[in-house]
Structure 1
Amino acid sequence: MKNVEYIIVGDGYAALFFAHQLMKHNQSFIIFSEGRKSASQVSAGIINPVVLKKFTTFWKAQEQIDFLKTTLHEIQSYTGKNYLIDAAIHRIFHDENEQKLWLKKSDNEELSAFLDKEFRHLGIVKNDFGTGKVDQSARLDVNNFFNDLFGYFENQSALVKEKFEYAKLNPSDSSYKNITFKHIVFCEGMGVKENPYFSEIQVNANKGHHIKVKLSKGIPANVTIKKKHFLFPLGNDLYFYGGTYDREQLHHHIDNSAVEQLVRGLSEFYPYDFEISDASFGFRPTVKDRRPIIGRHAEHKNMYVFNGLGARGILNGCYFSRSLYDFIENSIPLHEEISINRFNK
């Protein structure tokens, strides 16, 4: 039998950021990843403290940005790579009213650190009313982040590439197959619906499509352009454009209407020819109150869930991984707004 402090089930941001917390505190663990491309792994990797539809911010935005920077620096110490891409978001204004609203909101104490008051005009794309720069925004190098961390954990014998079999889990004696553990944490995204222990948690799928395109005229490497969706360079003459939001069409194949929506959106501000090289989708686990769902199983006290990260998977996954760790190891209560128990009231 192999003995570890933790089993982690999942292969997205929640799983990897929680694994990092365990590494920081010298806790032994095994991650079970079935090798599929999770919603996290096909995500845009946008790090953004502003809701760009209404020019508002969200709960603990500054704390989450600061904690992410610290965490990525810690991860760099063992992978040797920096995954933070300094490419600020430039939001294209639709009209003068949006310009005025941006300036008004930039005087708000919560938003002054994020909304740059100097408007800019970007070359190449159509932006007749200019753009607003989101300070402290950036991108994560998603592909290398996952490849390197999975590779590192595999070299540490902390990664098992197989589907987790719930039937072989014995919570009463804290064992799974030939492994004994102290705690097990499920970070499965929408896969949680197959989990007999947490299938009832209130997460809903939000399907997001994105396309990879070849542009006849490229955009600068150090910007992320946003109008309806995000556009930024991936390298090798490819660009990311996405993603959509769909709570209705939840089938497991490409939705042509979503691709058409993206083509229309890109054509609105990119006036040159482009060619689609690929289309992908993922299912974001979202919660009606836009907060993660974190907590302990009501009956099995060695069993936990970390889910519902939504469209802010990087920030939520990073910041609240510490909350879960402190809850388990230091008995620090979870904030009511993220606790699984909030739905029991």
Structure 2
Amino acid sequence: MKHIDYIIVGDGYAGLFFAHQLIKNNKSFVLFSEGRKSASQVSAGIINPVVLKKFTTFWKAQEQIDFLKDTLSEIESYTGKNYLISSPIHRIFHDENEQKLWLKKSGNEELSAFLDQKFDRLEGVKNDFLTGKVNQSARLQVSGFFTDLFDFLEKKEFLIREKFDYEKLDISSSVYKDFQFKHIVFCEGMGVKENPFFSDIAVNPNKGHHIKVKLSQAIPEGVTIKKKHFLFPTDNGLYFYGGTYDREQLHQHVDESAVAQLVNGLSEIYPYDFEVEEVNFGFRPTVKDRRPIIGRHLSFKNLYVFNGLGARGILNGCYFSRSLYQLIEENIPLHEEVSNSRFE
């Protein structure tokens, strides 16, 4: 029997950022990864403090950005790489009214650090009304982040590449197979619906598609372009364009209407030929009030859930991993806006 502090179930942003908290604090753990690509692993990796439809920001945006930068520096200490790509978002304006709204909002105290007051014209894409730059926005190098962290966990024997079997869990004695544990943290995304302990939490699937395309003409380097969706270069010479949001078509295959939506959206801003080389989709776990769901099981006090990160998986997963760690180890209460008790 191996004695460990934690079992983590799930291998998306929630699971890996929580694993980092355990590494940082010298806790023993294993992380169960099913091996299927999670929504996190096919995500765009956008780090963005602004809601780009309405030009507003969100709860704790600056704190989350600052904490992410610190955390990625800590992760660099053991992977040897920093996965933060400096590629600010340039939002293409639809018309002059959007320009005026942007300038007006940029005078607000909570938005002045994010909305650049100088507009830019980008070559290679249609932007008749120019673009506004989102300061402090960036991207995560998603594939490298997951590949390197899995490699690190595997070398340290923290990674178990198999599906967690709930029936093998003996809660009364805190034993799972050959492990005697203190705590289990379930970070399963939409997989939580199969979890007998947390299947009733209020997360809903939101299906997102993106395409990878080959462009016939180059676009500006070092920026992430946004109008309806995000456009930016990937590692292999292709460009990422996405993603869609769909709460209705929740089947486990590509939805051609979503692909058509993306092709039409890209055609609106990119006036040259392009070829769709790849289509991916995933199911984001979203919550009605747009806050994560974190906390302790009502009856089994060493079982925890960390879910509902939604479209801001990187910022939410990073920032609230510390909140969950502090709840478990220091008994510091969660903020009521993210605690699972708000739905009781």
Range class of TM-score, shorter chain: over 0.9
Q: Equivalent residue of 1:173, what SS?
A: coil
User: 2: CA distance between counterparts of 1:201 and 1:235?
Assistant: 37
Q: Which residue of 1 aligns with 2:6?
A: 6
**1:3 aligned partner, one-letter code:** H
User: 2: CA distance between counterparts of 1:143 and 1:203?
Assistant: 26
User: 1: CA distance between counterparts of 2:12 and 2:245?
Assistant: 19
Aligned residues: 344
Cα displacement string for residues 144-198 of structure 1 (whole angstroms, at most 9, x for unaligned residues):
0000000000000000000000000111111101111000000000000000000
1:256 aligns with 2:256: yes
In the TM superposition, 1:233-248 aligns within 5 A as 233-248=233-248
Q: Equivalent residue of 1:118, what SS?
A: strand
In the TM superposition, 1:322-341 aligns within 5 A as 322-341=322-341
**2:175 aligned partner, one-letter code:** S
**1:78 aligned partner, one-letter code:** Y
Q: Which residue of 1 aligns with 2:155?
A: 155
Unpaired stretches in structure 1, ≥5 consecutive residues: none
Q: Once the two structures are aligned, what percentage of the paired residues are identical? A: 77
Shift of 1:220: 2.5
Q: Which residue of 2 aligns with 1:99?
A: 99
Shift of 1:250: 0.2
User: 2: CA distance between counterparts of 1:302 and 1:237?
Assistant: 46
1:265 aligns with 2:265: yes
Shift of 1:82: 1.0
1:82 aligns with 2:101: no
Q: Which residue of 1 aligns with 2:306?
A: 306
Cα displacement string for residues 76-129 of structure 1 (whole angstroms, at most 9, x for unaligned residues):
000000100000000000000000000000000000000000000000000000
- Cα pair 1:219 1:233 within 8 Å, conserved: no
Unpaired stretches in structure 2, ≥5 consecutive residues: none
Q: Equivalent residue of 1:241, what SS?
A: strand
Shift of 1:237: 1.7
User: 2: CA distance between counterparts of 1:58 and 1:52?
Assistant: 11
Q: Could you list the structure 1 runs, at least 4 aligned residues long, displaced by more than 2 angstroms after superposition.
A: none
Shift of 1:218: 1.9
1:143 aligns with 2:143: yes
In the TM superposition, 1:167-246 aligns within 5 A as 167-246=167-246
Shift of 1:3: 1.2
User: 2: CA distance between counterparts of 1:57 and 1:45?
Assistant: 18
Q: Which residue of 2 aligns with 1:35?
A: 35
Scaled by the length of structure 2, what TM-score is found? 1.00
Q: Calculate the aligned-residue CA RMSD, in Å.
A: 0.4
User: 2: CA distance between counterparts of 1:224 and 1:19?
Assistant: 29
Shift of 1:236: 2.4
Scaled by the length of structure 1, what TM-score is found? 0.99
